[in-house]
Structure 1
Amino acid sequence: MPRPLRILTPLHSFEPGGVERVALRLNAHWQQRGIDAIVLMGRDAGAMGTGNPPAQYRTFDQPGFSTAPFETLWMTARLPGAIRRLQPDILFCAGNTYAVVMLAMRMLLGRRCPPIVIKVSNDLARRDMHPAGRWFYRRWLRLQGRLAHAVVGMAEPMRAEIAVAMGVDPAKVWIVEDAAVSIAELALLAQPRTPAIRERRFVAAGRLTTQKNFALMLRAFAQGAASEDRLTIIGDGPDRAALERLVATLGLTGRVTMPGYQSSVAESFAEADYFLMSSDYEGVPAVVIEALAAGLPIVATNCSVSMDYLLQSGRFGLLTKVGDTAAFAHALTAIKSRPYSANAARTHAARFTVEHAAKAYLQVFSNVVAAPGRSSHIVSDIECAALSAP
């Protein structure tokens, strides 16, 4: 009898990142419901793995030195053997970062490579790139489109973008709303906010990296916020030291705090009045959905084809041009007078749950393995139940 569907998700580590966080949450949901979902880690380091990891996982045998500086090469070298041993029916590419590994698997394993489902986790236009780099990037996207058996976007506006940028048949494009929050987290994020005395409290969250452009946010805050206003930036990353120096240079010491990585943003969001995001590019940022679930008005850069959809054409906040410090500073003032419904924002955020996405991904995987020539694997009774569950 054919065995049940087996899903393999390779990840570099537990270092905080939106792609890894969502992938771990999806796999945890599948595992809790008896799905044969395997998470294979390049190394087990990182803040998301401390305490109880979000999902059960396996790791490659570790050498006597850190593989972090060359984690993609390390995974590319070790993954083919794991695929031969585990014989998965689906390789789940959890985000754009892992597409190069998936291409290597197709080249190394040939016809023995399982079908690949790629989740597009980032912006495909990449206007931040130099034109020459963008030319190569566009061809790289076309190559990804050729290697994938299905491509998944995280919000409806991504459908056309994916089909055009990756050159894929629209029939290969699926939309699965981003698994940003669980139903339980929706309730936690909806807790009443602590009222401010007289200052406005802004909050931001994300990896402290160039992509997130927190430097622009700090400069805009220095220009557009009142002297009593406060900003908290949650997260950690390689740009921390440079951002701390910028805080001092701008005279924001005492007004800006950077508490580091937090496994849950619910408490910090409950103590805030507005959410900020200044990224140069994004896919469907989970932290924006968390902010909506917390009922926070949002000021953000228009860093993704999906941002207007997330903010419902200005209903839940203001979008500014990417890289425009003056416009972002102006929006910090303008957001005060915008009409806003926290309940409507929370209702919108409820579309983006792990529970819904986990079931929808199983449907994608099942369709891929049921394609002509791939009928040797079946969806088990457990998986059928998961697909039909509310």
Structure 2
Amino acid sequence: MIISILLPDLRCGGAERVMLDLAHEFVRAGHEVEFVCMQARGEFLGEARQSFSLVDLATPRARHLPLALTRYLRRRRPVSLLAAMWPLTGIAGVATRLAGRDIRLVSSEHVDFRHTPSLRQSERWALKRFGQQLYAPCHSVVAVSQGVADSLQEVAGLSVERLTVIHNPVRPLPPGLMTAEDRRHLAGWLEGGMRLIAIGTLKRQKGYDVLLRALADLRKRQDARLLILGEGQLRDELERLAVNLGIADGVWMPGFRANPGTFLQHADVFVMSSNWEGFGNVIVEALAAGVAIVSTDCPSGPAEILDNGRYGHLVPPADAMALSRAIARMLDAPMPPDLLKARARSFRPPDKAAQYLRLLTGDQN
């Protein structure tokens, strides 16, 4: 059985990582997987090409995708199509209708549509006006958290019956050896008193300005040092803020690293300071590493992953002082690593892939 997975590209994002992990499990279950990308580019391209078939539709603009995808569906004739991320999920519904074939379509949404500034006004209008029709060809619409499901009901008018909540699978990467260059560059963090770590793109969504202000407050009382793994457009702004706060000597931003487990194993507390999320894969990665967690209770995902505070401290978004106090409490009394690792096993890829396969194949056994 051919399962096609539709993505914009294979850049290093949470949804892309999820789709790759699901694809590996689909193959283990005996299915053939083919990635279909608007553009064949991104950091995960090598992994995808090594393990799966890959089709480059060479359509940089979404408006060209319906016809390109329709031609692909008519030629390749997949049994099932898993489309990830709006607007591809809506376009996939149009293309399956144009293809005139009996294709089992499952759409997977990874953002809370109520809190996504990148969603253009025209897209919000389209979702509000035509959401039910665009998703109508889907055999199911998967939301990666209950918050995402709630947003689809509110913004797109989808009924509860149309939605299935499947938390993201997260495959913990075994910690590797830190390179000599990283070990030299991060020596101040590694040799510090209390080591904090945050992981994610340097963008407004992640609330790193609040995290830096929290660190400045925390450092008035103890030697805490922060490592941020990620790259993005706010690097210069965040570096200036760290200087202005007087904490530049306690902050390291080495850029993106493919295996966060290598660095998590040295951390005392993982901190997520996001203003919004769809799920929050890195929280599960921290759980799997047995690292204590402090997170904003942002929409959507962290509270679901941490079971409303059972597995980590939750604080309001955009509150630096509350974040600082929660980090201090966690440093003083961290949660047992075995408890956190047990929680991480709730998000095992084989279990989540089985849930997706029931939708993609129609086999409910």
With the length of structure 1 as denominator, give the TM-score of the two structures: 0.77
CA shift in 2, pair 1:30/1:230, >3 Å: same
CA 1:249–1:129 in structure 2 vs 1: closer, same or farther (change >3 Å)? same
Shift of 1:116: 2.5
Secondary structure of 1:351's match?
helix
Cα contact 1:28–1:54 (8 A) shared by 2: no
> Which residue does 1:139 correspond to in 2?
128
Residue of structure 1 in register with 2:212 after alignment: 218
Which residue is 1:19 aligned to?
A: 15
Conserved 8 A contact 1:316-1:345: yes
- 1:280-325 deviation line (CA, Å, top 9, x unaligned): 2112211110111111221212122432221122222222222233
Query: Which of 19, 31, 36 lines up with 2:32 in the alignment?
Result: 36
1:241 to 215, 219, 236: 236
Q: Distance in 2 between matches of 1:323 and 1:54?
A: 42
| 1:202 has 2:184 as partner | no
Gaps in structure 1 of 5+ consecutive residues = 371-386
Deviates more, 1:96-105 or 1:353-362: 96-105
Task: State the distance in 2 between where 1:58 and 1:305 align.
Answer: 31
Equivalent residue runs for 1:240-389 within 5 Å: 240-338=235-333, 340-367=335-362
- Whether 1:175 and 2:171 are equivalent positions in the alignment is no
Q: Deviations over 1:346-371 (max 9, x none)?
A: 1111011111112221111122xx7x
Q: Is the 8 A contact 1:208 1:240 kept in 2?
A: yes
1:126 to 108, 115, 137: 115
Q: Give the whole-Å Cα distance in 2 for the aligned partners of 1:54 and 1:153.
A: 29
Shift of 1:331: 2.4
CA–CA separation in structure 2 for the residues paired with 1:321 and 1:137: 31
**Are positions 1:99 and 2:99 aligned together?**
no
User: Structure 1's 256 and 161: CA in aligned 2 closer, same or farther, altered over 3 A?
Assistant: same
Give me the whole-angstrom Cα distance separating, in 1, the residues matched to 2:126 and 2:302. Answer: 22
The AA in structure 1 aligned to 2:294 is V
SS at 2:216 equivalent: helix
Letter in 2 for 1:116: L
Quickly say closer, same or farther: Cα 1:232–1:50, change in 2 above 3 A: farther
Identify if the C-alpha distance between structure 1 residues 40 and 51 changes in structure 2 by more than 3 Å, giving closer, same or farther. closer
Of 55, 58, 65 in structure 2, the residue corresponding to residue 59 of structure 1 is: 55
CA–CA distance in 2 between the matches of 1:356 and 1:94? 19
What SS is found at the alignment partner of 1:202? strand
- Measured after TM superposition, the shift of residue 80 of structure 1 is 2.1
- SS of 1:254's equivalent in the other structure is helix
- Are the structure 2 counterparts of residues 358 and 133 from structure 1 closer, same or farther at C-alpha, using a change threshold of 3 Å? same
Preserved contact between residue 156 and residue 175 of structure 1 (Cα < 8 Å): yes
Aligned equivalents of 2:219, 2:49: Cα separation in 1: 39
| Aligned-residue offset at 1:28 | 2.5
Alignment of 1:7 onto 2:3 = yes
Q: Answer yes or no: is the 8 Å Cα contact 2:104–2:361 preserved in 1.
A: no
Residue 20 of structure 1 deviates from its aligned partner by 0.8
Deviation at 1:154, TM superposition (A): 2.8
- How far the C-alpha of 1:128 sits from its partner, in A, is 6.7
User: Structure 1 residues 289 and 137 mapped into 2: Cα distance closer, same or farther (>3 Å)?
Assistant: farther
Greater CA deviation, 286-295 or 223-232?
223-232
Does structure 1 residue 47 correspond to structure 2 residue 36?
A: no
Q: Is the 8 A contact 2:278 2:301 kept in 1?
A: yes
CA distance in 1, matches of 2:126, 2:115: 9
Q: Provide the aligned length of Structure 1 versus Structure 2.
A: 351
Matched-pair contact (CA < 8 Å) for 1:174–1:364: no
| Overall identity of the aligned pairs, in % | 24
**Could you say what secondary structure the match of 2:142 adopts?**
strand
Deviation readout 1:238-258 (Å, 9 max, x if unpaired): 333333333333333231111
Give the RMSD, CA atoms, in angstroms. Answer: 3.4
Question: Per-residue deviation at 1:212?
Answer: 1.9
1:87 aligns with 2:77: yes
* Aligned counterparts of 1:87 and 1:346: Cα–Cα separation in 2: 41
Q: Normalised by the size of structure 2, how large is the TM-score?
A: 0.82
Answer whether contact 1:315 1:340 (CA < 8 A) is retained: no
Cα separation, 2, equivalents of 1:32 and 1:276: 34
